[in-house]
Chains A and B, each alone.
Chain A
Amino acid sequence: ILNVEQSPQSLHVQEGDSTNFTCSFPSSNFYALHWYRWETAKSPEALFVMTLNGDEKKKGRISATLNTKEGYSYLYIKGSQPEDSATYLCAFKNTGNQFYFGTGTSLTVIP
């Protein structure tokens, strides 16, 4: 069982603030890193799939970076909006067949 850690566990920001979270994972046998957005009472939805060291992905106001050598990924949200409120999950996959999910960062954007 591998350890995938996300920080902070929860976060409250004001509307318009920019914010970022961290996902830490083992740096050996890296295959892929996924970010998911999980709204309450819904199922997780894939945001980004990252496979290469130095990858940067962007979707609207949300972006992510990847450092496989040191074992971390950052998720950034620029100008947070109330609809960004959700839990953001990262999942690490090594060269085996299983993903290991972090426990998530719960984001609340206060209007």
Chain B
Amino acid sequence: NAGVTQTPKFRILKIGQSMTLQCTQDMNHNYMYWYRQDPGMGLKLIYYSVGAGITDKGEVPNGYNVSRSTTEDFPLRLELAAPSQTSVYFCASSSIQDFLDGYTFGSGTRLTVV
């Protein structure tokens, strides 16, 4: 199993540009999440999804959009990149019974906005 696959691993954006961070999981997990990690800070939840067609905001959703058209894919969209969005982004997934297994994380995307 590949687990959770994130692309790209690194990206530099100019202010005002847009991009999509891709996330795919092959474990048939219902729940998927996007987190960002800033230096010295914990993981902050951006958006999450409890199943295809269902998404909800986390702690820090401003400036981002998501969609969940399939169980496997949960892309994160940045429409107008700002320097405050410079961060490392992690996608994660879990089964409904995540209290048994915990989250499975992707390898992260390091985004710099200049």
| Chain A residues engaging chain B, CB cutoff 8 angstroms | 1, 4, 31-32, 34, 36, 42-46, 49, 51, 89, 91, 93, 97-99, 101-104
Query: Which residue of chain A has the shortest Cβ distance to B56 in the bound complex?
Result: A97
Kindly identify, within residues 21 to 69 of chain B, every residue whose CB is under 8 Å from any CB belonging to chain A: 31, 33, 35, 40-45, 48, 50, 56, 58-59
Contacts A44-B103, A46-B103; A97 near B42 (Cβ below 8 A): no
Query: Which residue of chain B has the shortest Cβ distance to A33 in the bound complex?
Result: B99
Number of interface residues of B (CB under 8 A): 27
Q: How far is the CB of B11 from chain A (nearest CB, A)?
A: 17
B31 contacts across to A, CB distance below 8 A = 97
* B42 x A4 contact (CB < 8 A): yes
Kindly list 11 other residue pairs between chains A and B, CB separation below 8 angstroms, not including A32-B99, A46-B103, A49-B100. A44-B90, A45-B105, A46-B101, A49-B99, A49-B101, A51-B99, A89-B42, A89-B43, A101-B43, A102-B42, A103-B42
* A99 x B45 contact (CB < 8 A): yes
B75 beta carbon closer than 8 Å to chain A: no
A46 contacts across to B, CB distance below 8 A = 101-104
Kindly identify, within residues 86 to 114 of chain B, every residue whose CB is under 8 Å from any CB belonging to chain A: 90, 98-108
* B107 x A34 contact (CB < 8 A): no
23 sample A-B contacts, Cβ–Cβ < 8 Å, listed by A number: A1-B59, A4-B42, A31-B99, A36-B103, A42-B107, A43-B4, A43-B90, A43-B105, A43-B106, A44-B103, A44-B105, A49-B102, A51-B99, A89-B42, A93-B98, A97-B31, A97-B56, A98-B48, A98-B58, A102-B42, A103-B40, A103-B41, A103-B42
* B107 x A101 contact (CB < 8 A): no
Q: How far is the CB of B37 from chain A (nearest CB, A)?
A: 9
A104 contacts across to B, CB distance below 8 A = 42
A43 contacts across to B, CB distance below 8 A = 4, 90, 105-108
A89 contacts across to B, CB distance below 8 A = 42-43
* B45 x A98 contact (CB < 8 A): yes
A91 contacts across to B, CB distance below 8 A = 43, 103
Cα distance, A4 to B105, chains bound together (Å): 20
